[in-house]
A and B are shown apart, each in its own frame.
Chain A
Amino acid sequence: MTRSLHLLLGTLCALSISVSVHAQTGKVTVVTSFSKDVTTPIKTAFEKAYPGANLDVQNRNTNAGVKFLQETKANNQVDLFWASAPDAFEVLKSNNLLQAYKPKATGIPEKVGSYPINDPQGYYFGFAASGYGIMWNTRYMQAKKLPEPKEWDDLLKPVYFDHVAIAAPSRSGTTHLTVETILQGEGWEKGWRTLRLMAGNFRQITERSFGVPEGVNSGQFGLGVVIDFFAFSSEASGFPVKFAYPTVTTLVPANVGIVANAPNMAAAQAFVEFLLSPAGQEVLLEPGIRRLPVIPAVYDKPAAKGLPNPFKDTSLGARVKFDVDASEKRTAAVDALYDQTITFQHEALKAATKAVHDAEAALAKKDNAQGRTLVKEAKDLIGTMPVTEAEVASDAVAKAFTGSKEPGARQAELEQKWAAFAKENYAKAKDKADQAAKLAR
């Protein structure tokens, strides 16, 4: 009751603003990666607040959406780009495909966690926050007698072997940020070691972001590394799932940006203002959406019950001081490293990891110093990187990835080198672990 009253008041407010400014009408075309569950309530609320406006939603995944805008820029027909991953907006911005704008909306803090909510140059605006964490299927966990995980490190434990899934960072902008968070939080060497040993436990590395919650929901695997709202909205849809934020997580804003040369600029601006208004923010609390609003006051609404408040709970996402520039610069290389040494070598990595688990279990029963050394060596082999942080940041690697007229290393060449390095190491690691297991027998 109170909620609908609030909505009504909010709508009335928005209405009076819109009437006093100008009636922003006509078709507003938005390219978005968000699902219908997210877009439909917001579309309805927006069209109510701005009578005469018609939000035309085109669903494309983030990559396809970016590609679409790049391909059609000569005769652009799109007003807004609306998606989670900030790096997609960075790409659009660097291609001059976005229009700078200064929203009039107030009450939005500068940062959520340690991540700036808005683009400093004003090309795109965060309207909701989301953090990464672990989601699990309670029926699956019960059937397989698995404990509930709390931290990323838990996922390295043998008990979770073959039960966890993640989306490939090259395919999911938000997973990429999780990987980068771990790299920045733990440092390059240690971070990659964690990522490798964790991935050695994974059941799958999926190609779509949504493949992970889908598999957890249906029970194809038990746990998944996902962005929070996948878990919240799955729970709201009745699936037997739960979710936890590890201490080291990044809160990332989901964004909206106005496309350069938007055909209906006025209405595009109106949509941005609506999203950032209290009325727009409250729509985020609906069961099908469940994203964290960026206006702190909205968390006081009754509908926000159960949502964590990142503006109060400072433990959330504040641990890592996320360096956006460093992340942006090495995006392609980090994705390629993950793909070449983990995704496409997954079988070999899993075999090596399993061998290490087995050896450790054997050694726990019957200790053996030489075996311990071998296991340590095996783990080191799994964790070693083919390149240092400095090498990845170098011009040579950057040019291999962006393309340059000068002769030099090519991306395909680098990738093959990295893949061969990893493959060889995993095979050696498995050998050593097998030997260690034998010694303990």
Chain B
Amino acid sequence: MLTSVLPRLRRAGSNATAGQIVAAVAIAAFLLLFLALPVAQVMIAAFQPKGGGGFTLVNFVDFFNTELFVRSFWNSLYVSGMSVLVATLIALPLAYITARFEFRGALLIQTLGVVPLIMPPFVGAVAMQLLFGRNGTINLLLQDHFDITIPFMEGLNGVVLVQAIHYFPFILINLTTALNNIDRSMEEAAQSLGCSGIRLFRRIVFPLAMPGYIAGAALVFIKVFDDLATPLLLNVKDMLAPQAYLRVTSIGIADPMGYVISVVLIVFSLLSMWASTFALRGRDYATTQRGGGGLDRRKLGPVQAVAAYGTVIAILLLVLAPHIALTLLSFATVWSFSPLPDAYTLAHYGKVFEESAVYMKNTVLYAGLAAAIDIVLGVAIAYLVLRTKLVGRQWLDYGAMAALAVPGVVLGIGYLRSFYGITLPDGTPLATLWIVIVLALAVRRLPYALRACFAALQQVSEALEEAGENLGATKARVIRRIIVPLMTGGILAGFVTSFATAAVELSATIMLVQSNADAPLTYGLYVFMQSPAGRGPGAALGIIAVILVAACTFISHLLIERHRRRSGAIR
């Protein structure tokens, strides 16, 4: 069967090798089995009249006739757009300062800059409220001293603020990587032509870093569009993702509207993905030379240093505020309607210490495996789409990106429906194995790794590959020895985002966790946060999660930095 298909496919894909075709088919099979089929099992309800059977589009008519859903759609659009804007304002100075100047602690910024992504569900919410809420620390102080309050967390703009703080690392990571990949000679050429300062940045540097920025911005846009945790925690219900979630989880299969909204989410996410690739189409961002780490790094003058450190510290304080509040909460006895806790204790850590070992082990294992799967798939898909002419290669990209828009609970239910019926030889269902959680996490976080790999590969010139091939290297060898090493920065960025976000995922895993021994940290957190006495231990567990993921991030940055220095020295 395969032998008869291969030549035909090869002809269709002109210069595709057998290896590429096999890879493409394998990836397609993976996406079909672990994303498309499970989701389709659930989504089919969107196209059926209530009660099942037959095919209808009447549910979509209902969607557009319902004022609430239409309002939700526009609200989601507004919040996503504004979040990208605010996230850019946060990420740009951090990325620029670290890439442009000799800046002590750049590594620390790159690590701390990822920490906002690691916002464990529930505890993050509680901590934010304690600090920025209507009766949070800041507003209580303002009320006491100036008799004013600021509605940081109210309404759509509250959602924008929280989302921007939460997801700006997507832009930061991808932009930093892109800036570090820019060919120094471009900048020097511009400078020798008399261009400098803001103009140099606006006309040369930023445009060259565009793939990274767009990759990050697109992720922020879609993620915010599909995110339900933040709006729900701020009690904003008239946005699309919360509407889908509320309907799917409270009404269920008897009502198709939740699934209709999910379909709308997926279609819209694909549209914005397509728009972002369209924005980059027809331009060349590749550079042939590795300038030993991007832009020429300048020394900071004394005034510049003060300004740079001031900016960085101010931004980090803002974006790490939730984690500061979480730390306080984890040591607090009682913290209620007061700027600071009544007293401090170590008891919460004592309480979770015993249990956290198994949660930590599971989290690192699951998120690590999932991120590893993601970067393998990410590199492969990026290569197939950008470097081959395989028919339908674009669909691998779209298919993988669709995962971003699938609500976690829909994926979780889909997995149960698809894999619970399959039994292992000893009679236990396939879905009870922890590997299923890993697969769900890998599918959910694949888009993050994929975008990073894409941006990285877009900056690698094809001339380098051709040179390799001209010297007699096989395609596989070129990938292994040239492409992947040149993409390392992007691959790491992808790994870190996938890992960090998979480590705090809850919506899909909560459907799939079958026993406490197999549970990750977030599940433990969820269990703690459902009771008044569990708030402190929950926060402690949250801090443990943050430290754990931050440590993993730091170590991977350290490794890549060492790798870069070593390879730089060889050159």
Contact = CB atoms under 8 A, between A and B. Distances in A.
Contacts of B416: 68, 71-72
A236 B417 CA distance: 42
A419 B533 contact: no
B50 A233 contact: no
Interface in B420-438: 420-421, 423, 428-429, 431-432
B66 A140 contact: no
Contacts of B516: 56-58
A403 B50 contact: yes
Interface stretch (A117-125, A215-223, A356-364): A215-223
Interface string A396-409: 00001111110000
A269 interface: no
B67 interface: yes
A64 B416 CA distance: 12
Interface string B255-273: 1010000000000000000
Interface in A374-400: 400
Interface in A221-259: 221, 230, 233-234, 236-240
A58 B515 contact: yes
B536 to A, nearest CB: 9
A277 B203 CA distance: 78
A416 B66 CA distance: 5
Nearest to A27: B515
Interface stretch (A178-186, A202-210, A298-306): A202-210
A335 B246 CA distance: 12
B51 A402 contact: yes
A332 interface: yes
A410 interface: yes
Given A171-B246, A401-B254, A402-B254, A343 B62 contact: no
B345 to A, nearest CB: 11
Contacts of A58: 513-516
A36 interface: yes
Interface in B343-389: none
B53 interface: yes
B343 to A, nearest CB: 10
B338 interface: yes
A214 interface: yes
Contacts of A38: 531
Given A68-B416, A75-B421, A210 B66 contact: no
Given A207-B237, A332-B251, A403-B51, A35 B334 contact: no
Interface stretch (B76-84, B95-103, B128-136, B214-222): B128-136
B50 A404 contact: yes
B480 to A, nearest CB: 43
Given A36-B528, A74-B420, A74-B421, A206 B235 contact: yes
Given A35-B531, A74-B421, A75-B423, A403 B254 contact: yes
Contacts of A411: 50, 251, 255, 257
B152 interface: no
A410 B50 contact: yes
A102 interface: no
Given A218-B335, A332-B251, A335-B250, A64 B257 contact: no
B336 to A, nearest CB: 5
Contacts of B133: 218, 220
Contacts of A206: 235
Contacts of A205: 235
Interface string A127-146: 00000000001011001000
Contacts of B246: 170-171, 207
A410 B49 CA distance: 9
B335 A59 contact: no
A402 B59 CA distance: 15
Interface string B43-72: 000000111110000110011011110000
Given A139-B338, A171-B246, A59 B527 contact: yes
Nearest to A344: B68
B201 interface: no
Interface string B392-425: 0000000000000000010001001100110100
Interface size class of A (residues with CB under 8 A): 35 or more
B414 to A, nearest CB: 10
Contacts of B514: 58, 77
Contact of A56 (B129, B333, B510, B515): B515
A288 interface: yes
B472 to A, nearest CB: 55
A213 B530 CA distance: 10
A435 B306 CA distance: 58
A323 to B, nearest CB: 23
Given A137-B337, A217-B532, A240-B336, A67 B432 contact: no
Contact of A64 (B135, B249, B429, B432): B249
B510 A416 contact: no
B57 to A, nearest CB: 13
A230 B337 contact: no
B534 A35 contact: yes
B310 interface: no
B204 interface: no
A338 B240 CA distance: 19
A329 to B, nearest CB: 15
B335 A237 contact: no
Given A75-B421, A237-B532, A139 B413 contact: no
B135 A413 contact: no
Contacts of B49: 403, 405
A420 B69 CA distance: 13
A415 interface: yes
For A170, A219, A234, which residue has the most chain B Cβ atoms within 10 angstroms? A219
B151 interface: no
For A139, A213, A288, A410, which residue has the most chain B Cβ atoms within 10 angstroms? A410
A163 to B, nearest CB: 11
A343 B420 contact: no
B75 to A, nearest CB: 12
For A74, A207, A215, A332, which residue has the most chain B Cβ atoms within 10 angstroms? A207
Contacts of B338: 139, 219
Interface string B423-459: 1000011011000000000000000000000000000
B336 A217 contact: yes
B184 interface: no
Contacts of A63: 249-250
Given A71-B413, A143-B337, A412 B257 contact: yes
A423 interface: yes
B252 A67 contact: yes
B429 A412 contact: no
Contact of A412 (B59, B249, B420, B534): B59
A414 B66 CA distance: 10
B249 A67 contact: yes
Contact of A218 (B336, B431, B533): B336
A330 interface: no
Contacts of A332: 251
Contact of A415 (B59, B66, B531): B66
Given A219-B337, A412-B65, 5 more contacts: A38-B531, A75-B421, A137-B337, A239-B334, A404-B50
23 contacts: A35-B530, A36-B528, A71-B420, A72-B416, A139-B337, A139-B338, A143-B337, A207-B237, A207-B246, A214-B532, A218-B126, A218-B135, A220-B134, A237-B532, A240-B336, A288-B533, A344-B237, A403-B254, A403-B255, A413-B62, A415-B68, A416-B65, A416-B66
Interface of B: 49-53, 58-59, 62-63, 65-68, 126, 129-130, 133-136, 232, 235, 237-238, 242, 246, 249-252, 254-255, 257, 333-338, 409, 413, 416-417, 420-421, 423, 428-429, 431-432, 510-511, 513-516, 523, 526-535
Interface of A: 29, 35-38, 56-60, 63-64, 67-68, 71-72, 74-75, 77, 137, 139-140, 143, 170-171, 204-207, 210, 213-215, 217-221, 230, 233-234, 236-240, 288, 332, 335, 340, 343-344, 400-405, 410-413, 415-416, 419-420, 423
